[in-house]
């Protein structure tokens, strides 16, 4: 399947109409540029589909286009170049694409000549159409856009591994240990006061640890 940038380009330029209409070339079209020639349904003046059907037809049509054009691409190709070619083929038809100079130059290793060849496909009914000029430019821009490798998400650490959690545990243990030592050195009222302080310090350490646990948990959702 195509990457998101390629799908978004096709959707943007094809548009989606759930009731059949005639495109600039006079062909009955529905959904995202779906015509009878795609081999999925017969598209005529009375054809109407749902949005869900339009999305499904687009996916199936793109799968079919990829199956038809990929064997003709003999040079190494990245995701954006393939997306640009698929958008072009989706618009002009796979047969025209396979015969295009854009594909010929690409397979020959002359990528610098491909943008000019893509821009040639700007006419409908023998006339230059502004919408096609703009679409070809969008395809060229996608074709020339380097594919950026996605950075892997940083590995999540468990609470035991987390340095923040470890610091909280150390703080809590130190507080409790210090309070116990102070308690043993005192007696009577002083012990009661010391014990109260011990409890308060321990509760504070536990509260800090709980808050850090919550932040850690929120981070993995």
Residues 85 and 193 in one domain: no
Q: Say if 98 falls within a structural domain.
A: yes
CA–CA dist 58, 151 (Å, integer) = 29
Are 186 and 140 in a shared domain?
Answer: no
Q: Are residues 38 and 89 in the same domain?
A: yes
Query: Which of these is catalytic: 14, 81, 139, 198?
Result: 14
Residue 153 lies in a domain: no
pLDDT, residue 157, reads 39
Mean pLDDT for the stretch of residues 49-72: 94
HSE (side-chain half, CA atoms, 13 Å) at 218: 6
pLDDT value, residue 206: 64
136 with 188, same domain: the answer is no
Residue 154 falls within a domain, yes or no?
A: no
Instruction: List the CATH number of the domain containing 13.
Output: 1.10.530.40
Q: Average pLDDT of 166-182? A: 50
Is residue 133 domain-shared with residue 209, that is, in the same domain? no
Residue of 67, 55, 53 whose CA lies nearest to 1: 67
Is 190 a domain residue? yes
CB atoms within 10 A of CB 39: 10
Q: Percent of the chain at pLDDT above 70?
A: 67
What's the mean pLDDT in 88-105?
95
Q: Cα dihedral sign for 34, 35, 41, 45? A: positive
Is 16 marked active-site?
no
**198 is known as an active-site residue:** no
pLDDT(4) > 70 = yes
Reference 208, options 175, 180, 168; nearest CA is 168
Same domain, yes or no: 126 and 186: no
Quick one: pLDDT band at residue 24, thresholds 50, 70, 90? Answer: confident
CA distances from 136 to 111, 174, 200 (A): 16, 68, 70
Alpha-carbon gap, residue 90 to 71, rounded angstroms: 16
pLDDT at 220 over 50: no
Instruction: Assess whether 49 and 12 both reside in one domain.
Output: yes
Report residue 117's pLDDT band, with 50, 70 and 90 as the boundaries.
very high
Q: What is the mean pLDDT of the chain?
A: 81
Indicate which residue of 16, 23, 81, 139 is catalytic: 23
In a domain, 123, yes or no: yes
If asked whether residues 190 and 121 sit together in one domain, one would say: no
- CA distances to 9, 26, 98, 143, 194 from 69, rounded to whole Å, are 18, 25, 7, 16, 81
| Residue 151 lies inside a defined structural domain of this protein | no
**Which residue range forms the structural domain that includes residue 130?**
4-144
**Is the same domain home to 129 and 74?**
yes
Q: How many domains, the chain? A: 2
Report how far residue 207's alpha carbon sits from residue 186's, in angstroms, rounded to the nearest whole number. Answer: 27
Could you read off the pLDDT of 67-86 as tens digits, one per residue?
999 999 999 999 999 999 99
Q: How far apart are CA 166 and CA 168, in angstroms?
A: 5
The pLDDT value given to residue 120: 97
- In a domain, residue 84? The reply is yes
Euclidean distance between CA atoms 129 and 124, whole angstroms: 6
Question: Both 17 and 121 in a single domain?
Answer: yes
Asked whether residue 167 falls in the same domain as residue 133, the answer is no
202 with 132, same domain?
no
C-alpha triplet 73, 77, 82: angle, nearest 5° = 80
149 within domain boundaries: no
- Which tokens in the block code for residue 200? 């308060």
The token duo for 13 is 């330029």
**Taking 50 as the threshold, does the pLDDT of residue 94 lie above it?**
yes
CA 141 to chain centre: 18
């Amino acid at each position: 399947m195509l990457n998101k940038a390629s799908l978004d380009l096709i959707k943007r330029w094809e548009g989606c109409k759930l009731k059949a209409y005639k495109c600039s070339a006079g062909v009955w079209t529905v959904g995202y540029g779906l015509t009878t020639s795609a081999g999925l349904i017969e598209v005529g003046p009375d054809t109407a589909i749902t949005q869900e059907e339009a999305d499904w037809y687009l996916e199936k049509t793109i799968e079919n286009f990829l199956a038809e054009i990929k064997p003709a691409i003999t040079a190494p190709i990245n995701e954006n170049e393939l997306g640009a070619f698929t958008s072009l083929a989706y618009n002009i038809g796979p047969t025209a694409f396979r015969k295009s100079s854009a594909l010929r130059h690409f397979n020959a290793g002359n990528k610098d000549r491909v943008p000019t060849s893509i821009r040639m496909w700007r006419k409908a009914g023998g006339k230059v159409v502004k919408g096609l000029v703009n679409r070809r430019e969008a395809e060229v821009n996608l074709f020339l856009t380097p594919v950026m490798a996605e950075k892997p998400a940083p590995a999540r650490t468990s609470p035991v591994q987390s340095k923040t959690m470890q610091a909280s545990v150390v703080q809590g243990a130190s507080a409790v240990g210090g309070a116990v030592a102070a308690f043993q050195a005192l007696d009577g009222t002083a012990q009661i006061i010391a014990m109260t302080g011990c409890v308060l310090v321990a509760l504070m350490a536990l509260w800090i640890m709980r808050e850090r646990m919550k932040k850690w948990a929120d981070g993995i959702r």
